[in-house]
Amino acid sequence: MTPHEVMARCAELGTPIVQSTLANYKTWGLIHPPVVQSLGRKIGKVSTYRDDTPLEVYTAQRLSGRDFGFSMDYVCLFRIHWLSDIEELATGQPLDLFVEGGALLWGMVYNLAKLNVPLNGQFMSFFYPPERLNEVVEYVRKQEPASLSEELFAEFHREAKGKLRGLVLLRRKGDGHHILAVLHEDGARVLTSLGVLPESTQ
């Protein structure tokens, strides 16, 4: 993608960005760096970004904005550890629960954008290890019985592939609506039924 294509797609996603900020995002480690090709002396260079760059911009802006409120430094850490799934920080320090949870949140927001699922509103975030899946599912069913059916949960178990990395439960401020996603090696699966979301999130 060209810088202008990236900016156009970001605008469509509701997270507009200008070219100078796009360059900063590359410097800050919030997006994959573009492939830069020289066009020759006195002509200049052309930058080609990955097709998922707008999704990375969207994720960075949502996590660093008022909806979640993380600093860009933390968003960068979350991104690195979602993409790498390594067990320690760059300093050699063991990966802590905050960064591990933030990595799950980065993966969830990115993958929901990939699925064209909007996250409208401000959310509180809760992170759980895979072994607490049944417990969290039962909690959501008690709070919002119509949002998580037996059929949906059974379908997830039938289709589940690869290592589960964790669970992210979002609770929207205001109406308390829950969104539950299971994060695995290849992406995310939303377990709550999107069809019953309040009209404000459609």
Identify the pLDDT of residue 53: 97
Identify the pLDDT of residue 87: 63
Identify the pLDDT of residue 157: 67
Give the integer Cα–Cα distance in Å for 103 and 165. 10
Cβ neighbors of 44 (< 8 A, separation 6 or more) are 38
Distances, alpha carbon 60 to alpha carbons 22, 57, 64, 94, 177, in Å = 11, 5, 6, 24, 23
- In the chain, the percentage of residues whose pLDDT exceeds 70 is 86
Confidence of residue 67 (pLDDT cuts 50, 70, 90): confident
The total of other beta-carbon atoms located within 10 Å of residue 191's CB is 23
Distances, alpha carbon 111 to alpha carbons 45, 124, 181, 188, in Å = 32, 18, 10, 6
Is 196's pLDDT higher than 50?
no
148-156 average pLDDT score: 73
When comparing pLDDT for 199 and 182, which is higher? Answer: 182
Identify the pLDDT of residue 161: 58
- In the chain, the percentage of residues whose pLDDT exceeds 90 is 33
Give the integer Cα–Cα distance in Å for 151 and 179. 17
Is 41's pLDDT higher than 80?
no
Confidence of residue 193 (pLDDT cuts 50, 70, 90): low
38-65 average pLDDT score: 89
183-202 average pLDDT score: 60
Confidence of residue 200 (pLDDT cuts 50, 70, 90): very low
Of the ranges 19-28, 81-90, 183-192, which is most confident?
Answer: 19-28
Identify the pLDDT of residue 166: 86
Is 1's pLDDT higher than 50?
yes
Confidence of residue 159 (pLDDT cuts 50, 70, 90): low
